Chains A and B, each alone.
Chain A
Amino acid sequence: MTRTVPEGWRKAARFVWIAALVLVALSLVMVVRAPTERVMGPVQKIVYVHVPSAIATMIAFGITFAAGIAFLTTRQWFWDALGAASAEVGLVFATVVMITGPLWARSAWNTWWTWEPRLTTFFILWILYAAYQVIRSSLRGPSKRTISAVLGIVFFVMYPVTVYSVNLWRGSMHPQNVTMQGNMRQVLLTSMLAWVVFYVAVLERRLRLEWARRAAEEERLGVGAPAPRGHVAARGAEARGR
């Protein structure tokens, strides 16, 4: 893996960002124009951000899991960077789920929160990946990457527990799956696509941070090729207090 972001990567990232912003804007317009559900009313439209965010969360944590395995197998820097980046972006998506869920539940269940299986297991999942961020940021040295990879794999055990919690335990109030038809289904599918593409775009941006950190670290240690001119100038400006 190269030390700076490859040119092809930059071009692809620009395309993904444009696609993500267009799709998210389109999905928001579609949500506004979507038919109002008869029983719940406009509050049902929260589902169009809640469900796609939950799916993006699971994809993000799944990639952290896969990247953890890839890192332990190959010991390549990129897999550690991908796992860490995906865990952080996934945590933001999980936070969106944790905020939008109670807002929907207040109308549907007449309570902001209840300790039913899906909510409880998702809350545990959120805590685990928040702990991942805290533990990783507190680690130094070569063990940082290995411990992060192991945590990314171990914490993913909560994934099937969360998904199947509505079937595993009795008394779950959370819908088992969301079934929609016609226009509402189109809005949900578009929103899912939009937020998953948005996840890819944000992941790319978060990976840039890992790339920059690696370049800065290598420059500090005097390893590898000299940094590009712009890079040196930026660091010089920072040193001058700009």
Chain B
Amino acid sequence: MTYAIVAYVISVLLWLVYLVVLARRIRRVS
């Protein structure tokens, strides 16, 4: 169970970090 929770938490966190960084990149350029 722990591995499954870790897998989903890391996946969601990775996407959140990517989207935040992407939003900052867009804001910096425009």
Contacts and interface: CB of A to CB of B under 8 A. Distances in A.
A136 interface: no
B11 A216 contact: no
B28 A45 contact: no
Chain B binding surface SS class: helix
For B4, B6, B8, B29, which residue has the most chain A Cβ atoms within 10 angstroms?
A: B4
A44 B8 CA distance: 12
B22 to A, nearest CB: 6
Contact of A205 (B10, B11, B19): B19
B7 A206 contact: no
Interface residues of A, number: 34
Interface in A15-63: 28, 31, 41-46, 49-50, 53
Interface string A187-198: 000000000001
B16 to A, nearest CB: 11
Contacts of B27: 234
Contacts of B29: 209, 212-213, 216
Contact of B26 (A42, A106, A209): A209
Contact of B30 (A96, A107, A198, A234): A234
B11 A100 contact: yes
Interface in A139-176: none
A43 B30 contact: no
Contacts of A209: 22, 25-26, 29
A103 interface: yes
B22 A46 contact: no
A130 interface: no
A235 B27 CA distance: 10
Contacts of A212: 26, 29-30
Given A96-B11, A104-B7, A205 B30 contact: no
Contacts of A69: none
26 contacts: A31-B8, A42-B4, A43-B3, A43-B4, A45-B4, A46-B3, A50-B7, A53-B11, A92-B14, A92-B15, A96-B11, A99-B14, A100-B7, A104-B7, A106-B3, A107-B3, A198-B15, A202-B18, A205-B19, A206-B22, A209-B26, A209-B29, A212-B26, A212-B30, A234-B30, A238-B28
Given A100-B7, A205-B26, 7 more contacts: A46-B3, A46-B8, A96-B14, A205-B19, A209-B22, A209-B29, A235-B30
